[in-house]
Amino acid sequence: MAKIIVFEGLNGSGKTTVGTLVCEILGCSMVKTPSPIFGESRAKIDEKADLMARFLFYLAGTYQAVVDAVVASQELFIVFDRYYYSTVCSHRAHGLKVEIPSFLDFPKPDYSFLVTCQQEKRLARLTLRGLNINDLKERSDGIEKKTMEEFRSFNLTEIDNSSDSPMIAAREIISIVNTQ
């Protein structure tokens, strides 16, 4: 079975950029969550759904992406741009007391990275790409800070991506993957 590498972090931290570089180095592809089949509903869910319904939507979307990737993978590594940690941490930060239901048999990641970035750089990246509704929600009521606290409660390996070169963070990750 392929080794699972997970990238987590706040929007704008560089998860996708660093993950893409890691995939290029390892010769594998990246899986974004939630699954693409959930894409058409995503904007409406983000805008209008009750918080618990939103949690269940994202959990189901992540689960589907994981199942699809694990079943189809012939590669040595599967890299996920977000995993269940994002769904749990974000919703806990918003006040829900949630866990991953035991009947959902998510594979345990072999490597879980929390990509961090200096706040000013992260906000500049978000502004450049354009803020979406989730970016605005994260910024309100101390949600960013609470989300980071929740991420840290899972003891993910933190990788600083504040440099102007995301290759520095990618090389640090490759170093960890190659030594374990």
Tens of pLDDT, residues 5-51: 999 999 889 999 999 999 999 999 999 999 999 988 998 998 899 99
118-146: average pLDDT: 77
> pLDDT tens-digit profile of 135-173?
666 666 788 999 999 999 999 999 999 998 999 999 999
Average pLDDT along the chain: 91
| Amino acid at site 85 | Y
> pLDDT tens-digit profile of 44-90?
998 899 999 999 999 999 999 999 998 888 889 999 999 999 999 99
The closest of 140, 152, 146 to 116, measured between CA atoms, is 152
Helix runs in 9-118, H state only: 15-26, 39-48, 51-72, 84-93
The CATH number assigned to the domain holding 46 equals 3.40.50.300
Instruction: State the first-to-last Cα distance of the chain, in angstroms, to the nearest integer.
Output: 16
Q: What percent of the chain shows pLDDT beyond 90?
A: 72
| Number of independent structural domains in the chain | 1
The C-alpha R_g of the chain, in whole angstroms, comes to: 16
State residue 119's pLDDT score: 86
d(CA 155, CA 179): 19
The closest of 87, 78, 75, 64 to 8, measured between CA atoms, is 87
pTM beyond cutoff 0.85: yes
* Domain housing 142: 3-179
H/E element, 117 = none
Residue 160 contacts residue 116 (beta carbons within 8 Å) = yes
| Amino acid at site 63 | Y
State residue 168's pLDDT score: 97
